[in-house]
Each structure stands twice: as structure tokens, then as C-alpha cells.
Structure 1
Amino acid sequence: MHKPRLGVVVIDCQGEDPAAYEAFWAAALGRERETDPIDPKYRDLRGPEAEIGVLAPAVDHPPRVHFDIETDDIDAEVARLE
């Protein structure tokens, strides 16, 4: 059987100053902002290794929160969720 798991929580940040939203969520969740991201649009809010990952990307659409599911078999996971 395939292995699905919750990968990260994604908090989309829209607005004139996405860095301010990232700073808010980092402080609210007790995490540190990524200081030197590979892609400045996607910020990893770093926390303890044992906790779920949190991303705070800058987006062009209305803000939302969603979960990214990871799996070792995408087709099986799609079928299971459908």
C-alpha cells in the first residue's frame, strides 16, 4: 500500500508587503523566517524538525491556507481521495 502523509501547511500571502505577512505568521507560530531563500516568492517558516513544515509564499490570488499531501504513489493517492 502507498504511503500518504501531510507534507506542509501553506499559508498564501497576498498584498503590497508579503514580507509583513510572513513576519506575522512566523511570530504567531513561533517560527523563524527563511533568511536566504532559493526562490524569494516561497518562504519556509522554520520550526522544530518534529513539527509539520509551514510555507508562506507570496501569491497573486486571494490568500488562503491549504495542505500539501506527499505520497510515494500519486495515482493511488488520487484514486483513494476521489
Structure 2
Amino acid sequence: MHHSRLCTIVIDCETDDLAGAATFWSHALGKSIVTLDEDGDGKYARLATADDEPIILLQRVAHDSRVHLDIESDDLEAEVQRLEKLGATRVSHMHDRWWVMQAPSGHRFCVVRPQRERFGPHLNRWE
């Protein structure tokens, strides 16, 4: 048995001005900026969300701008295998931190370890 849930909406930004993108989305969504440098590498900014809302990250990328979802799970491999049975495929793996997956529709998304200290609520339970 393992658990998973939608955890993050990631706004991929093909830009050199992540602060400008974060400012736009902050005003557009009515969410304050928590940080313009989430991991200390200048690639992620985070907007403020409530504990029961998905995290909103802006990610500086080298590909076309788009939005992707992160699904958090307490068992990465079990969740990836479950999604493969639904037709998703593995694209790339990042140091046991996450899997980039592709849905049958062509959309990319990530399966990640739990992103918040408290993993519940709204968990899906999978046998």
C-alpha cells in the first residue's frame, strides 16, 4: 500500500527574469511571493499557499514555457509503476528525488517525494 496526491503546480518559465515572472503570477493569482530562490540555485521561486492548497512553484527552464503538475508519494517506485499501468511512461530520473513522467496525452508531470512536513489531507490510498 502507498499514498499519493497532487502537491504542486509548476509554472515552467523560459526566461532570464524569474523575479519578473514570479511578480506577474503573484499578482495574477493573488498569492504573495515566499521566495525568489527556493533552492539557492536561482531556478525556483515559490508563491504562498495554504496548507490545504497545492504548492505553486515557478521554475526557470530552457524549454518552452508551460505548466506541469507534481504528484507526491510516500513510495516513488510504487506510484510510478501504478501510473505506468495507466499508460504513462518514464522520461528521466533525478537522484532518487523525482521521476519525470509522460502521460498518454503527451503531458509531462513529475512524481516526487512528499513536499510538506505533513503529508495529509486529501490522500489517495493505493493497494
> 1:70, 1:22 → 2: CA distance?
23
2:17 corresponds to: 17
**Structure 1 unaligned residues grouped into runs of 5+:** none
> 1:72, 1:49 → 2: CA distance?
18
**Structure 2 unaligned residues grouped into runs of 5+:** 85-127
1:44 corresponds to: 46
Greater RCO structure (CA 8 Å; 6+ sep)? 1
Amino acid at match of 1:55: L
Check the 8 A contact 2:16/2:60 in 1, yes or no: no
Q: Return the structure number with greater helix share.
A: 1
Residue 59 of structure 2 is aligned to residue 57 of structure 1: yes
Local SS of the residue matching 1:76: helix
1:7 corresponds to: 7
Local SS of the residue matching 1:12: strand
* Matching of residues 24-35 of structure 1 within 5 Å: 24-35=24-35
Deviates more, 1:1-10 or 1:42-51: 42-51
Shift of 1:36: 6.0
Local SS of the residue matching 1:48: coil
Normalising by structure 2, report the TM-score.
0.58
Shift of 1:48: 2.0
Query: Identity over aligned residues, as a percent?
Result: 45
Aligned CA distance change for structure 1 residues 60 and 17 (closer, same or farther; 3 Å) = same
Check the 8 A contact 2:18/2:36 in 1, yes or no: no
> 2:69, 2:14 → 1: CA distance?
17
